[in-house]
Amino acid sequence: MEHGTSDTHARYRFEMLAADVFDPLQRYLGRRLPADQVDDALSDTLLVMWRRLDDIPRDAALPWCYSVARQTLANHRRAGRRRLALTDKLRAQPRPVHDETEDPELDTALAKLSDSDREIIRLWAWEQLDPREIAVVTGLTTNAVSLRLTRAKKKIEEEMARQNPARAGHIRNESTQEHTE
């Protein structure tokens, strides 16, 4: 029962403190951040206040809370700079290649595979990974990857042969056949 009383007291103290500092902190953050970021920063500040409730001095609660808000503001600004740097870095990178190949028949054959088999084929063909490495990426066993890779390649081969029978085998070229007399 003692524990419950302590939790109730802490909650009551936090609610009273939050009611006292909410508006001043919101104004403080509102003068320093874009409007769409104020609520997140205020929420982060209140979360720190809740977690460190016992550290808040009773005779200087608002200045202590301003200090937390100031640190939260610094964190938000750092995160914003990291976001901008990442955005700039991503813009400088070449555009990702579309999932299609230069071969419409191959695209059709790949589209008939399950998503996981298509990913295994891509990891093998495009990323040049071996079955052991593909197993690490996919979380499958190496044996499962080998089996699925073999089956997927066979399905692709069969689908491409169905689409274009001449492509699947050898075409007789009459001009190169030997003449027997």
Alpha-helix runs per DSSP H in the chain: 2-30, 35-51, 61-92, 104-111, 115-125, 131-138, 142-163, 165-168
Q: Is residue 173 part of a domain?
A: no
Q: What is the pLDDT of residues 15-70, one digit of tens each?
A: 999 999 999 999 999 999 999 999 999 999 999 999 999 999 999 999 999 999 99
Predicted confidence (pLDDT) at residue 1 exceeds the cutoff of 80: no
Q: What is the pLDDT, as a whole number, of residue 176?
A: 47
Q: Give percent above pLDDT 70 in the chain.
A: 83
The number of distinct structural domains making up the chain is 2
Q: What is the pLDDT, as a whole number, of residue 109?
A: 83
Q: What is the pLDDT, as a whole number, of residue 179?
A: 47
Who has greater pLDDT, 55 or 112? 55
Instruction: Please state the pTM of the whole predicted model.
Output: 0.49
> Domain of 164: which CATH number?
1.10.10.10
In angstroms, rounded to a whole number, what is the distance separating the alpha carbons of residues 181 and 179?
Answer: 6
Tell me how far CA of residue 5 lies from CA of 10, 17, 61, 156, in angstroms: 9, 18, 23, 68
Residues 65 and 32 in one domain: yes
Structural domain ending residue among the three candidates 92, 123, 157: 92
- DSSP 8-state secondary structure symbol assigned to residue 33: S
Q: Which domain holds residue 114?
A: 104-168
Q: What is the pLDDT, as a whole number, of residue 96?
A: 53
Predicted confidence (pLDDT) at residue 74 exceeds the cutoff of 50: yes
Structural domain ending residue among the three candidates 43, 71, 92: 92
